[in-house]
């Protein structure tokens, strides 16, 4: 049989989704030799073996790719054999041009939830459990390629057990960059309003739940920033949160323990159910049920004043799941900020900016690299309409068709409008849109606006040759 070598270059959302482990397993199952690596353009593969097996290999890559991956380009060529003696995952390489897609943060998967709730699992009740199929991505990446030293997990050295999983090709955490456990990973702390530690780890979570039951406002450090949490049935607590945030009527988002809990308060279609359970796990605007229904009467009247809709979401991080499991009630989960300002992402900023708003702080020692708000979706005529594009969606690009392409050779920065701002970078045929920034009416918002522009230019390693500004306010 004829032996050959295939060279494959893949672009798209192929980093942080288990693509290299998938390629490794596919190649070794077919008895191929060679390597796979990440670079700033995507994934680069060389495989060697019988030509018929290489064709099967290529077909399997296209048809059986990891579910969270998106392939936008795949180029291959056949070459003479190079004499590889094994297949391996090589160290990542950097190129002058950056074209790889950065994946959004992904809601915790069912496998991780099952492990987290298993008393016999070493990650039992661990609020930072993750794997190749879920967990933080965009909020922890500092630069490409997507490897642990280029993330905010770089200072957490893996223990022997985590290292063994990380290096095991058949393990779900094979090359999962944020992999961690209670022994070596981030942990929780509960602080008072002055930053004094009151409890740590599991005790911090249990004390937080009790504070929420007692009507306190807790600032919780989540995936892409802090959230302000209160009991959604407590009129006094919700009203106090409105007053402190200077948010007179704008509705608060709610997080429910589960779908059945949402259905007690809202109408939920099959499409809305799918969106609620999707990897993006956004806030979904749902029609409220009549006030005579059970849960509809227990939601505070101050949540969404004179509004027929509620913004509902399900727990999307392990921490949220553990908190809602302990509480078993809907909670307000709103951005931790003064009205119209960007959300806080670090502890010093939270203590300063949320002074007088939050009573307590549930924090952790995993740094957030960039703010990412909760996304907001509304289903209209069974179509998912993204009203606020942030967690779970940003920064995946919009791909331009040939008819849509403008100024083909130019690298374009579009800075958006004054209200509900986002920025976008056009790189070749892709438009990378930032996470939601918000209204640019405050000094803090303008600082964030400039920071996001700088951040995107660093991430995608380019300086725009054209800058476009909208004429509308």
* Structural domain that includes position 76: 3-89
Q: What sign results for the dihedral spanned by CA atoms 247, 295, 234, 204?
A: negative
Tell me if 62 is assigned to some domain.
Answer: yes
What is the rounded distance in angstroms from the CA atom of residue 173 to the CA atom of residue 409?
Answer: 40
Last residue of a domain, one of 364, 382, 408: 364
- The pLDDT value given to residue 427: 82
- The percent of residues above 70 in pLDDT, for the chain, comes to 95
Distances (CA, A) of 443 to 341, 342, 390, 440, 448: 9, 10, 21, 8, 9
Q: Tell me whether residue 233 is exposed, middle or buried, using C-beta atoms within 10 angstroms of its C-beta: 0 to 12, 13 to 18, 19 or more.
A: middle
Tell me if 294 is assigned to some domain.
Answer: yes
What is the rounded distance in angstroms from the CA atom of residue 283 to the CA atom of residue 28?
Answer: 41
First and final C-alpha spacing in the chain: 67
Distances (CA, A) of 85 to 32, 38, 81, 82: 9, 21, 11, 9
Note whether 322 and 447 are same-domain residues: no
pLDDT over threshold 80, residue 121: yes
pLDDT tens readout for residues 164-194 = 999 987 898 988 999 999 999 999 999 999 9
pLDDT over threshold 80, residue 407: no
DSSP state, 134? Answer: B
- The pLDDT value given to residue 100: 66
Tell me if 275 is assigned to some domain.
Answer: yes
Q: Any idea what the CATH number is for the domain that residue 417 is in? A: 3.30.420.360
Note whether 406 and 356 are same-domain residues: no
Last residue of a domain, one of 343, 364, 385: 364
pLDDT over threshold 80, residue 143: yes
Give the number of domains in the chain.
3
- The pLDDT value given to residue 296: 56
Helix (H) / strand (E) containing 295? helix 294-298
Which residue stretches of 361-407 are H helix?
none
Q: Which of 40-44, 75-79, 366-370, 387-391 has the lowest mean pLDDT?
A: 40-44
Note whether 452 and 314 are same-domain residues: no
Q: Any idea what the CATH number is for the domain that residue 14 is in? A: 3.30.70.100
- The pLDDT value given to residue 318: 99
pLDDT over threshold 80, residue 339: no
Note whether 202 and 339 are same-domain residues: yes
Note whether 354 and 401 are same-domain residues: no
- Provide the b/e sequence for 347-374 (b: ≥16 CB within 10 Å): bebbbebbeebbbbbbbbebbbbbbbbb
HSE-CB at 130 with a 13 A cutoff on CA atoms is 25
Last residue of a domain, one of 364, 389, 423: 364
What is the rounded distance in angstroms from the CA atom of residue 39 to the CA atom of residue 9?
Answer: 10
Note whether 360 and 411 are same-domain residues: no
- The torsion of the CA quartet 238, 240, 243, 245, rounded to 10 degrees, works out to -70
Q: Any idea what the CATH number is for the domain that residue 276 is in? A: 3.90.870.40
pLDDT band at 122 (very low <50, low <70, confident <90, very high): very high
- The pLDDT value given to residue 292: 53
Tell me if 228 is assigned to some domain.
Answer: yes
Note whether 347 and 410 are same-domain residues: no
Determine phi and psi for 70, rounding to 5 degrees. -135, 115
Q: What's the rounded mean pLDDT across residues 128-140?
A: 95
Tell me the pLDDT of the chain averaged across its residues: 92
Tell me if 122 is assigned to some domain.
Answer: no
Note whether 338 and 208 are same-domain residues: yes
Tell me if 121 is assigned to some domain.
Answer: no
Note whether 224 and 310 are same-domain residues: yes
| Sole residue written with tokens 């790889």 | 100
Note whether 415 and 284 are same-domain residues: no
| Sole residue written with tokens 């005790």 | 203
Q: What's the rounded mean pLDDT across residues 266-271?
A: 97
Note whether 299 and 218 are same-domain residues: yes
The structure's pTM equals 0.89
Note whether 230 and 317 are same-domain residues: yes
Tell me if 339 is assigned to some domain.
Answer: yes
Tell me if 227 is assigned to some domain.
Answer: yes
pLDDT over threshold 90, residue 423: yes
């Amino acid at each position: 049989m004829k032996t050959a070598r295939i060279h494959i270059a893949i672009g798209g959302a192929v980093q942080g989704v288990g693509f290299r482990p998938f390629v490794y397993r596919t190649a070794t199952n077919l008895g191929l030799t060679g390597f796979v690596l990440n670079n700033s353009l995507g994934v680069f593969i060389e495989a060697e073996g019988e030509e018929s097996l290489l064709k099967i290999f290529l077909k399997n890559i296209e048809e059986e790719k990891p579910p969270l991956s998106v392939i936008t380009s795949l180029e291959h060529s056949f070459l003479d054999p190079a004499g590889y003696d094994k297949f391996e995952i090589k160290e990542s390489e950097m190129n002058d041009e950056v074209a790889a897609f950065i994946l959004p943060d992904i809601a915790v998967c069912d496998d991780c939830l099952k492990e987290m709730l298993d008393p016999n699992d070493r990650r039992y009740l661990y609020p930072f459990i993750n794997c190749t199929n879920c967990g933080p991505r965009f909020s922890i990446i500092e630069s490409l390629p997507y490897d642990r030293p280029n993330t905010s997990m770089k200072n957490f050295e893996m223990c022997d057990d985590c290292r063994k999983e990380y290096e095991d090709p058949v393990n779900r955490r094979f090359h999962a960059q944020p992999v961690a456990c209670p022994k070596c990973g981030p942990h929780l702390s509960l602080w008072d309003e002055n930053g004094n530690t009151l409890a740590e780890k599991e005790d911090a979570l249990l004390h937080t739940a009790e504070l929420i039951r007692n009507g306190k406002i807790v600032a919780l450090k989540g995936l892409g920033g802090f959230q302000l949490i209160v009991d959604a049935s407590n009129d006094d607590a919700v009203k106090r949160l409105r007053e402190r945030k200077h948010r007179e009527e704008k509705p608060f988002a709610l997080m429910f323990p589960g779908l059945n809990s949402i259905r007690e308060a809202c109408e939920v279609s099959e499409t809305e159910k799918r969106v609620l359970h999707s990897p993006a796990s956004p806030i979904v605007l749902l029609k409220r049920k009549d006030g005579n229904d059970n849960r509809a009467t227990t939601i505070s009247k101050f949540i969404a004043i004179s509004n027929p809709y509620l913004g509902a979401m399900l727990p999307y991080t392990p921490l949220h799941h553990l908190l809602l499991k302990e509480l078993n009630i809907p909670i307000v989960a709103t951005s931790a900020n003064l009205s119209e300002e960007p959300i806080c992402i670090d502890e010093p900023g939270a203590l300063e900016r949320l002074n007088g708003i939050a009573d307590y702080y549930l924090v952790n020692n995993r740094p957030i690299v960039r703010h990412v708000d909760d996304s907001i979706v509304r289903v209209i005529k069974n179509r998912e309409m993204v009203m606020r594009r942030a967690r779970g969606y940003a920064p995946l690009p919009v791909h331009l068709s040939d008819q849509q392409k403008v100024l083909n050779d130019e690298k374009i920065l579009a800075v958006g409008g004054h209200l509900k701002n986002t920025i976008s970078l056009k790189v070749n045929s892709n438009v990378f849109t930032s996470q939601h920034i918000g209204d640019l009416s405050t000094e803090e918002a303008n600082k964030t606006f400039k920071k996001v522009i700088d951040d995107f230019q660093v991430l995608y390693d380019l300086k725009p040759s054209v800058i476009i500004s909208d004429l509308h306010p």
